[in-house]
Each structure stands twice: as structure tokens, then as C-alpha cells.
Structure 1
Amino acid sequence: MELSSAETKSVASMSSRGSKTSSASRVAAASHAKVEAANAQTEYAKLESETMVEKARVEARLNTLQHEKEVAAAIAEASVLETIAVESEKGDGESISNEAVERTHQYVHHQFQLLSAAEDRLIEPTIPQKPGQIRVVFDSSAKCQGVSLNDMLLSGPNLINNLLGVLIQFRYNPADIAFLGEYTTTMSSVAKAINILQGESNIQMGWLLPTITSLIAKLEKTRVSLQFCKPLVDVLQDGLKIRFGEMMSDPELVAAAILNPKFKTSWTSDEDVLKLGLSYIKEHLPDHDEALLQPADKSSSASDEDDFFSNMKHVHTQNTTKQLDAYLMCTAEDVEVPQPDLSLLYERLLLAEQRGETLSHELLLVLHNLQNLTITGNNLTSSNVTGGWNERGSISRILSPKPSAIQYLPHLGQHPDSLKAFVHLGQGRTGVSLVFGVPTVRRQKQSYLLNTLGSLLFDLSSSEKNDIVIIVFIAETDTAFVNNVVESIQKNFPDHVQSGLIEVVSPSPYFYPNFTDLKETFGDSKERVKWRTKQNLDYSFLMLYAQSKGTFYVQLEDDIVAKQGYSQTMKTYATGILSEEWLFLEFSKLGFIGKLFRASDLPMVVEFFLMFHKDKPIDWLLDHILWVKVCNPERDAKHCQSEKNKLKRTYKPSLFQHVGLHSSLHGKIQNLKDKDFGKQKLFTGYVNPAASINSTLQPYKEHTLTRAYQGQDFFWGLTPKAGDYIHIQFTTPQTIKSYLFRSGNIETNGDKFYNTTVEVLPLRSSVKESVRRGQFPCCQPSSNGFIIIGSFVNGVAEGEVKSELGELIAMRLVIHSDSDVWVLLSEISIKV
């Protein structure tokens, strides 16, 4: 679109006016900016001046503070030096050189805190600054040899918690305290009875029956108020009745009690017993006798006795003899009449009194056995025992059959000796911590029993040997076989048999039932069913015999080896969890090997085994006991297994390994191995002097003498004969200080050297001549110039070599008799 000329002029005029107005505005703004800039510059100059003043004032203050600190430090340093000088003069300190400072010292860390007045007010307002004094603060975070006080203090609570946890394990709970109280109350009467019967003044037989009668009455009275110890009272009463039951109606003993002025007829209310005693007295007392007994002894203290017999009431029985009437009517203190002529009665009573020590000993034996009996409410298989000698000369013990045992094994009631244990070897050891049961039977191929016993005995310390007993149960009734096993054990372990460490027992021929009527179950043959049923009975018999001997019972088999240190390991583990709830501890995962029970639990376990002895193998029955105790039928199998594991504690690594290849079941090969057992240390190597070795013994595979002498292996040789030897020829003559030859090892302990001498060949001929003349008591001459300096004892030969023998050319081991086992050398040490 195009504009007209008038419109063009109008636009030009408007543009000229706008241009003039814009220029005026710009001039005004520039003028104002200049004014503002001048004002800002003035303010900045003023602020900078004030800042310089403040900065100068702050610097002056800082200089003042620094000067004060330097002065304080100088004063403190002078004070410290003065203090050190004073302490040195007192002898409480000493100066050391700069060189000594560089060495390691044990010292207490301190820190000198030197604070100015201002810092003191700001940092430590509660501690006033004292001129001329310093404050020393222990630096508990400073370390000496990598340890500070804080490190020790901070670990304290954790250590205390651990200690508290251990102590709580042994804390008595209310039930324990109540049991101890009841036990003390119960046994106090027993203790008083023993004190009375063993007293120096009460040695007449007239004290026996009143004491036993009063003890039984007190136990019965105590039983009413008991909660935990009723089974203990029952066992005590049963034991007293077994030992003294027949004596309660013995006319001589009854007469002796009546003729004791302390009791007369007050000790029993049984009229028949009193008539028996009075009739015996009348029969032996003529009418003209003026007195009946010796005067009462008023000198002895009777406080405890009066208290013990306080339950007796004096009841005077009428009789036809005037002397008896007079005697029975008077008190004990009034009986001071002359001694009568009672020669016949005196002789009879004297014979009876001679039985006193025997009876007292039997009472102590009862109480000793009772200490080891089970204290359970429903103990149906408690092993009350009596002792005697059987026709073969071996000690016998009777395991009293209870109604439940006869119910499960009715044939036991057909013969009184059905539960008799024939003790062939042993000393009747009791009161030990661990009792090991080793049942053994006739094997068709090979017997492992001696190796098993050797392994169990291999590294036991003296204290361990005194705190265990190993019971070998020969589960056979063949007399010839039993005697052979007994003789073999006696021959190989005479010291351990003599000490009581090893016992050997066998069952009565009437113990086993008729096995012909057994049912075949679980696909087992008739022979296998018989084998497993007999095994159930064997283990049950062995457990009943062993239950009173110790705190823990361990079931083993006759074809195992033990790990070194097994005894102490088991004892430590079992006692550490004694207060916890468990039925048995498992020290091997194979079958019934290495199962440890509390002895107090054995009666219950045995009763369960007897109840189902015909039905299942014994290891299955043991698992069923756990199921019965803790498994809920309404819960799943996983929950059941979890609960069973609480009653069955497994220790790893296993302490026992199964080694028998041929099972006691004829024809069965048993390739069972416990994978958790690990490897055994079968030999110990030593550095020996250079030598060449030769022998007439044939080595087994790679187990050579050279490797054993060099400490690389053990030597294993075939059966030796008389005249066999091992010859060690030194490369150069040696002065020997000592020697050690150990035969057997933890797995093959029976392969030992027997009747074998250690001999040396001296370099100097004069030494040989001196020995031949008997000038060296330590040595004896042998053949070819050799000298006997020692021999093997229990498989070990060790000793020192006398320096008088001088340098030696050779050593040798000489076997003097045939052996029926191989030989193994696990240690050869010759020290020069």
C-alpha cells in the first residue's frame, strides 16, 4: 500500500519529536550514576578504614595471648624440671640418657595439660587454674606394644558376659535346691546309723537290729514328705531288707538286742520277734542267775544315739522269768548289777559279735552301691546286686529281675541264676566318670577284640586310667570259648586287669531264651533275626551290669579304633552340657558305636530294648525312643527330626572308627567307615644318625625299616619267630645318649614286640670285657660282642645309654620267642 504526501509529512514530524525526548532522558541517567558512584566510593573508603582498625586490634589480642601461653609454658617447664629434680632426690625417678630413650620401654602414658586462663575458662571451667602447678592426665588411648588401656577396658563387658554365661550353666535351680534338701534329710539318718554301728563304744551285737529297725522306720516316716527322693528311699529300704532281712528274725541277734539295756524290747513292736528272743534267753539262762547283762556304760555321750532312737517307745513284755521281769522293768541307768556267769550265752554272743565287722562292711557296701543306683520315679530295672563265688571261682553278681523284665523275658523266672553275671577278671571298680561297654562274640573269620582294647588303652594318661573302666562282655555261654578270651586278655593286659581298668564278664547260661520261635520280619533271614535279637539282649545285659559303676556309660563294639585323646574329649564335652536336656551323645555316626548315656537313664533305655527286643535292630529301637519322647504325630517329619536332634547331640569329628571287615553275623562283610573320623597319626618321625639297617623280619608292602628309621613311615613286619632281629649299623661310631622304640600304633596296637631285648656293640673291646666280668650292673653280655642294655615292656623300650660304654658301632633288637601277631614300630629314636 502506498502513503499519500500528507501522510508522509505527518510521520516525519512525529519522528523528530521522539528523538529529542530520548536524548534528554539519557543525559539525566548518566548524571545520577555519577552521583551514586561517588557515594559508594566514599562508603568503601570508610569501611576499609574501619576494617584496618579492627584487624590491628585482633592481631594485638592474638599477640597478647601468644605471649601469655609462652610464659605459662616456661613456668610449667620450670615446674616440671623442678618436680623431676625433687623426685630424683627422693629416689622415685632417675635420669636416662638420650640413647636409652631410643630403646623400647614399658611405661605409663601421661599427658601434661597446660592451659592459659582464657582457655581454662573456655575448656575446663570446673577446674581452676592454679599458678605454679600442672595437671597430669592418664592417656588411656596411648598404646604400648600395640595395646592400650582402652583396648582392655572395652573388652571387659564381653568377657564378663561370657564368664556369666558359664557360671549360669552351673547355677542350681529351685528343683536342684529342693532335691539337695531332701537328699540331705534322707541320708542324715543313714549317716547316723553308720556312725552308731562304727562307734568305738557301741561294738556289741545288741546294737545291730535296733539300729537297722530304727533306720527303716525313719526312712518310711521321711518318705511321706518327699517329692524327689522317694525312689532313693525305696532303694535304701530294699537294700536293707536284702542285706539284713534274715537277721531280723535271728534268735541270737534278737536276744542280743533285748539284753542291751538301752533298748530291751522297745526297738520292735513285733511280738513274734520278741518272743523268739525271750525264749532264746530263757533257754540259756538258769533260774538261779542273779543278773542278765553287763552294767550300762554311763560314760559315753548318747545325745546323737538318743536322737536317733527317739521313735522307740519302752514297752515291757511280760514273761515268766523273774530276772527278766526285773530287768525289763528297770531303766538302763539302774542296771548296775554284778556280771553273771553266762558262759554258754557269752560264747554264742561272742561268735555273733565276730560277725559285726562283716555286717558293718556289708552295710557300707550297700550304701556305696546305692550311691550309684538310678534315682528315677519309675525305675523298673534297677540293678540291686549281691556278691558271691560261683563254682568256677569267678565273682558273680545277681541283677535282681523286676516284674517288667520277667514280663518281657518270662524264662528268667525259671532259674534263680538267670541274671547272674560271671565276673572273670576285674577289681569291682566303681565311682568313675566313664564306663565303656565292649560286647564280643565268637567270630568265624577274625577277632578284633585285642586290637580294640589296645587302641582304647594306647595313650591314656595315669589320671584317665584311674577314672574309667572298660567292661568286656563275652556274650557266649560256651565255657571253653569264654576261658580262651579271658586268658588272652589276662596275658596281653595284665597290668590293666590288676588295676581294675579292665573287667571281663559273661552271662548266665540261663539268660538267653529259646530263639527258635522268632518271626522273620523286614525281609531278614531266620539267622539274621536271631543275631539281632541276641544283640539286643546282650546290650541290655551289659548296660544293666554297668549302670552302677560310673556317671556316664559309652556303648562300643569289639572292632573299632579310637582317636587319640578320646577319653578326655568325651568327658569334657559331656560335663559341659550336663545341665542341658539330652538322651545320648553321639561320638560316631555308625550304628551303636560311641553312644554315651547318663548312667541314670540306662534303666529306661534297657526296658525299652527288652520290650521290643524281638522286633527291630537295636539302633532302630534307639531312634524309636527319641520318637516316642518328642515327636508329635500331628506334625510333619521335619519337625520330628528337629526335636529328636535336641535329644541326640552329635560331636564332630568322630572319635571312633569301625575297622572290622568280617561281621559277627556269619558271612556278612561290613565295609562301614565313618567319614567324619579323619586320619590318625600312625607314626612319629625322628632324626637318627646315619646307618644301614637289615633284618630277618619280612616287611609288609612299603612299610620298611629304612623308611621308619628315616622318619617317613612306620615299620610293619610279618609274624616274628625266636631269633629274628633288627640290626642298625652306624656309618661311623656314635656316642648314644638315649633310645626309644615304640611298637604298635593307635590302629594296630596289638602288633607289639614281646620278649625282645635292646643290645649295643661297643667300639672298645675293654668295655665288652668289663661287662663280661660284671663290672657294669646296667648291662649283660650277649652274643657276638653285643651287650644287653634294655628290653620291651608293654610294647615300649626306652632308656639312657651309660656314658661308660663309649662309642657304639651298632644297635640291634633281638626277639627271643615266637609271636602270634605281627610287629609294628611306630617310633624309632636314637639320640646322640
Structure 2
Amino acid sequence: MPQGRDGRRRDPRPEDWQALTTKYMKTVQRRRKTWLTVGISSVPGPDRRALLYTLVSLFRASARAEQKRVTVLVHLADSDRAWLQETVARISSLFRSQILAGQLLLIHAPPDAYSADRAWSGDALSRQNVAHAFLLSFATRLSHYFLLLEDNAVCAPGFVTRLREKVGRTGPAPWALLEFSNLGFLGKLLRSRDLPLLAHFLLLFPEEKPLDRLLPHFRALLAQDHAILCRPFLFFRRGSYYRANGGHGHAVRAAPSRAPSGPHNPPAAVFTDMEVLGVHFPWQAYTLDESFFWTRNVSAGSHLTVLLNRPANLSRVQVLTGTIVDGTYALGSGRVELGYEPEGTPQHCTSFATLGRFLEGQLDQEVPRKGLGLGVSCVRLLVSARQAGGLLVRHIYLWEERAGLRREAARR
């Protein structure tokens, strides 16, 4: 890394980065094609750390052996110099080893691509399509397959192996696009040989439709009439929630579900004493989408606790751990407890009763109408024995008694 006159390492400027990119592209060009390129086009947004979280999730969700099969390509698709400098500095600091190994590449279109006299420069739709066309064109020769990600994504553990398994099972059957998420263009897998055609297609219609709505037309041109949704989904968007102060600073107020059949998940704070990896937050286990909480080695006595904003009468509790495919990272030994009588600042429940124990990483139990289910203020996942490796909490779902919901609606 460049050094200043005082001998301290300084963050590279965009001009430095161009030189670094040229140097390490020689390393990349000498490498054999990888199996997969993960492509991300990023622009400044409300959360200036979104891209960093995505990269952290991507590399932590793949083992070292898997990373050798992957090239991550990031297009910094904006001319905002301050954002470029900040983003390059942060990425070069956090992912230096991946950059030096040629596993992570940063690219930036020529400056005139973002100049004000370009017809598309002021149109977000056109900018998105042109930026992705540039990304696709650059990625053509890097690998055999190409995966589109957004810059606010969360990746499921072992996603590289899952992708390879799905492609292997698909065999020689004709396909142009495999979809590992149902959100926008997130998690869309293509063959790299089709990337130049897709880039040209995007440039033909830069102002017609957004990328996610052009992709179905593109696959139809390649004789794939219907979408191929590959479940379980492997890629998710980071949720936009309001964080609240709580235990260890890892809490959130979660919005209740509007679905009458539930689960309801009333507003609550979520906190834990387990390690938080920076992208898979505890509150993600309590959302009603497909996000999750993932942590590393856990010890006996570790907990993940939902503290409800108000006591609730619960009729059912479901806590699922481990991946959907094969149960990897499921909780081997633990139980779910219901808590009551919260007090203190921050609040915590002062008494708990065991609802049930996990069986193969799962608990789905009706709560007795009288007794345990009345006036519940906490739902706690408690680890009973040390578990090396990792723990994935897929979701915590709560159902309230109907009468309680009707009274709440009446108060509103």
C-alpha cells in the first residue's frame, strides 16, 4: 500500500487504485478461469456501508476452498469522488488479502461515462442498465458462470456449493437463467458466454425497463419460456429496520405482520450474547422475510432473546435453526423458554418457564391456552451445550391469541 512521508500507510486515491488494478489484473489474467464470477454494481445510497456488509457476508458465507472457485467483481458505478475514495479505502483495508489473491476486483467506468452531457446520466433507470452492461462486459472472460447480486445482499452459508449442486442436477437441459432469489435481479445465475449478448440487450433498451424486468425478456430470447426458481433461496436483502438500544447493542424494533393467519411477531427488541458477525444480525431471526441470524462457535448458556414491547398471550411458538437443505448449523442441544415480569433498564424478564426442547434443530409447539401462554414478555432460545462451527437461526415465529389481537385492534 502507498505510504506517506511519515512512513504511515495511507489509503489509496482513485489514481493509485488504477495502478494497483493494472498490476493485479496481470495476476488475474494468468489465473485459469474460475467457476463463478459474482458481479455487483454499486452506487452511493442512504447506507454507505451496504456494499461492505455485502462483501463481508459473501466471503464469510463461503469456505476457503469455495473462494478459490469464485471471482468477485465490483463496479463502483458513480463519479462521486468522495464516495469513491471512501469506498476504495474501506474495501482495500478490509479485503486486502482477497485483492492481492485476485479474488476481488474493483472496476470503474471511464470518467466520461458519468459526465453530465451523457443522455442517460440523469436518469437512474438508464444509469442502472448501462452500469450493469459495463459490469457484464468486463466479466465475460473471468469464469464459466456469472451471478448477479445487489449491493445490499445477504448470502446463505455454503452458497457456492449449493449453486454447483443445482447446476449439476440441471444437467444438459437448456436454461439461460437460474433464480436463487425472488427479489429483483438479486441471485440470478447466467452462463458467462451469454453475458456479451445481455450487455448488448441492456444497451438497446437503456430507458425502457429496469434490469429485473428486462431479464425475463432476455431469457425468453434464449428459448427459456418460464422462470426457474431454485429453492431454498440463497440470497436475501438486508432489512431496513430501526435499531433500538438493547442488550449488547444488537436490538431492533420489529414491525408486526398484517397477515390474519400469522405468524404475528408483535413489536419487540432482539438481543443476544453470541458473537455478531456484522451482517447477520440477531433481529434478522425475528423478521417475517427469509433473512436469518448466523453466528460462529456458541457456548452453553448462550441465548437469543426476543423482548416484546408489551406482554402477549401466545398460542404457538416456532423456532427453526439450520439450513433448509440439509440442516447444517442446526442447534444440537437447547431449549425455548417463555419469560415474564420484565423489569430494569434495559428491561429483562425476571422469570422463565421451559416451553420445549429442540428436536433436530427445530421446535414448533402450541402453547396451552391457560398458564404458560398468558402475559408472555420474552421468548428465549437457550443453548444447552457448546457447539463448534456455527449456528444459524432461521426464524422465530410467534402467534398471538385471536382475542388479544381483536382488543389491540379496538384500542387503535
In the superposition, the TM-score normalised over structure 1's length comes to 0.28
- Distance in 2 separating the partners of 1:441 and 1:740: 39
CA deviations 1:108-165 (Å, max 9, x no partner) are: xxxxxxxxxxxxxxxxxxxxxxxxxxxxxxxxxxxxxxxxxxxxxxxxxxxxxxxxxx
Would the alpha carbon gap of residues 560 and 391 (structure 1) be closer, same or farther in structure 2, given more than 3 Å must change?
A: closer
Aligned counterpart, 1:505: 107
- Distance in 1 separating the partners of 2:47 and 2:143: 34
- Distance in 2 separating the partners of 1:746 and 1:431: 35
Aligned counterpart, 2:127: 534
Q: Is the 8 A contact 2:41 2:132 kept in 1?
A: yes
Structure 1 residue 513 displacement after superposition? 6.2
1:652 aligns with 2:231: yes
- Distance in 2 separating the partners of 1:445 and 1:687: 35
Aligned counterpart, 1:493: 95
Match for residue 240 of structure 2 among 631, 639, 661 = 661
- Distance in 2 separating the partners of 1:744 and 1:423: 40
Structure 1 residue 685 displacement after superposition? 3.7
Q: Is the 8 A contact 1:583 1:598 kept in 2?
A: yes
Q: Is the 8 A contact 1:560 1:660 kept in 2?
A: no
1:551 aligns with 2:144: yes
Q: Is the 8 A contact 1:592 1:619 kept in 2?
A: yes
- Distance in 2 separating the partners of 1:740 and 1:554: 33
Structure 1 residue 571 displacement after superposition? 1.5
Structure 1 residue 622 displacement after superposition? 1.2
In terms of Rg, which structure is larger? 1
Local SS of the residue matching 2:299: coil
Structure 1 residue 586 displacement after superposition? 0.5
Would the alpha carbon gap of residues 618 and 533 (structure 1) be closer, same or farther in structure 2, given more than 3 Å must change?
A: same
1:604 aligns with 2:197: yes
1:439 aligns with 2:62: no
CA deviations 1:766-795 (Å, max 9, x no partner) are: xxxxxxxxxxxxxxxxxxxxxxxxxxxxxx
Local SS of the residue matching 2:35: strand
Local SS of the residue matching 2:106: strand
Q: Return the letter of the residue paired with 2:80.
A: D
Would the alpha carbon gap of residues 508 and 602 (structure 1) be closer, same or farther in structure 2, given more than 3 Å must change?
A: same
- Distance in 2 separating the partners of 1:492 and 1:560: 18
Q: Is the 8 A contact 1:455 1:746 kept in 2?
A: no
- Distance in 1 separating the partners of 2:106 and 2:232: 30
Would the alpha carbon gap of residues 562 and 499 (structure 1) be closer, same or farther in structure 2, given more than 3 Å must change?
A: same
CA deviations 1:384-409 (Å, max 9, x no partner) are: xxxxxx99244579xxxxxxxxxxxx
Aligned counterpart, 1:777: none
Structure 1 residue 489 displacement after superposition? 1.1
More helix by share: 1
**For residues 90-489 of structure 1, what are the structure 2 equivalents within 5 Å?**
392-395=15-18, 427-428=27-28, 430-489=32-91
- Distance in 2 separating the partners of 1:644 and 1:460: 32
- Distance in 1 separating the partners of 2:289 and 2:237: 12
5+ long unaligned stretches in structure 1: 1-389, 398-421, 519-525, 631-642, 663-670, 690-698, 703-709, 714-738, 748-832
Aligned counterpart, 1:583: 176
Structure 1 residue 741 displacement after superposition? 10
Match for residue 299 of structure 2 among 686, 693, 700 = 686
Q: Is the 8 A contact 1:550 1:599 kept in 2?
A: yes
Q: Is the 8 A contact 2:61 2:155 kept in 1?
A: no
Structure 1 residue 443 displacement after superposition? 1.4
Q: Return the letter of the residue paired with 2:175.
A: W
- Distance in 1 separating the partners of 2:23 and 2:75: 10
Local SS of the residue matching 1:511: helix
Structure 1 residue 628 displacement after superposition? 4.1
CA deviations 1:662-712 (Å, max 9, x no partner) are: 9xxxxxxxx9x99884645446543379xxxxxxxxx9986xxxxxxx978
Aligned counterpart, 1:622: 215
- Distance in 1 separating the partners of 2:290 and 2:14: 45
Would the alpha carbon gap of residues 615 and 746 (structure 1) be closer, same or farther in structure 2, given more than 3 Å must change?
A: farther
Fraction of identical pairs, as percent: 23
Local SS of the residue matching 1:610: helix
Structure 1 residue 449 displacement after superposition? 1.4
Q: Is the 8 A contact 2:154 2:238 kept in 1?
A: yes
Q: Return the letter of the residue paired with 1:644.
A: D
Q: Return the letter of the residue paired with 2:228.
A: R
Would the alpha carbon gap of residues 396 and 554 (structure 1) be closer, same or farther in structure 2, given more than 3 Å must change?
A: farther
Would the alpha carbon gap of residues 605 and 475 (structure 1) be closer, same or farther in structure 2, given more than 3 Å must change?
A: same
Q: Is the 8 A contact 1:423 1:505 kept in 2?
A: no
More strand by share: 2
Would the alpha carbon gap of residues 679 and 482 (structure 1) be closer, same or farther in structure 2, given more than 3 Å must change?
A: closer
Would the alpha carbon gap of residues 444 and 700 (structure 1) be closer, same or farther in structure 2, given more than 3 Å must change?
A: farther
Match for residue 563 of structure 1 among 141, 153, 156 = 156
Structure 1 residue 559 displacement after superposition? 0.4
Aligned counterpart, 2:166: 573
- Distance in 2 separating the partners of 1:434 and 1:501: 11
Aligned length: 264
Would the alpha carbon gap of residues 440 and 744 (structure 1) be closer, same or farther in structure 2, given more than 3 Å must change?
A: farther
- Distance in 1 separating the partners of 2:16 and 2:393: 35
Would the alpha carbon gap of residues 623 and 424 (structure 1) be closer, same or farther in structure 2, given more than 3 Å must change?
A: farther
Structure 1 residue 446 displacement after superposition? 4.2
- Distance in 1 separating the partners of 2:290 and 2:24: 32
CA deviations 1:465-517 (Å, max 9, x no partner) are: 11111112111223332122111012122222222221122111022465775
Q: Return the letter of the residue paired with 1:561.
A: V
- Distance in 1 separating the partners of 2:109 and 2:390: 35
- Distance in 1 separating the partners of 2:188 and 2:288: 17
Aligned counterpart, 1:706: none
Would the alpha carbon gap of residues 486 and 744 (structure 1) be closer, same or farther in structure 2, given more than 3 Å must change?
A: farther
Structure 1 residue 555 displacement after superposition? 0.5
Aligned counterpart, 2:406: none
Would the alpha carbon gap of residues 424 and 449 (structure 1) be closer, same or farther in structure 2, given more than 3 Å must change?
A: farther
Q: Is the 8 A contact 2:61 2:157 kept in 1?
A: yes
Q: Is the 8 A contact 2:294 2:391 kept in 1?
A: no
- Distance in 2 separating the partners of 1:745 and 1:585: 25
Q: Return the letter of the residue paired with 1:450.
A: L
Structure 1 residue 461 displacement after superposition? 2.1
5+ long unaligned stretches in structure 2: 1-12, 242-254, 256-283, 308-332, 337-385, 395-412
- Distance in 2 separating the partners of 1:656 and 1:435: 15
Would the alpha carbon gap of residues 445 and 462 (structure 1) be closer, same or farther in structure 2, given more than 3 Å must change?
A: closer
CA deviations 1:28-81 (Å, max 9, x no partner) are: xxxxxxxxxxxxxxxxxxxxxxxxxxxxxxxxxxxxxxxxxxxxxxxxxxxxxx
- Distance in 2 separating the partners of 1:540 and 1:560: 20
Q: CA RMSD in A?
A: 4.2
- Distance in 1 separating the partners of 2:218 and 2:112: 28
Q: Which has the higher contact order (CA 8 A, sep 6+)?
A: 2
- Distance in 1 separating the partners of 2:48 and 2:19: 29
Would the alpha carbon gap of residues 578 and 474 (structure 1) be closer, same or farther in structure 2, given more than 3 Å must change?
A: farther
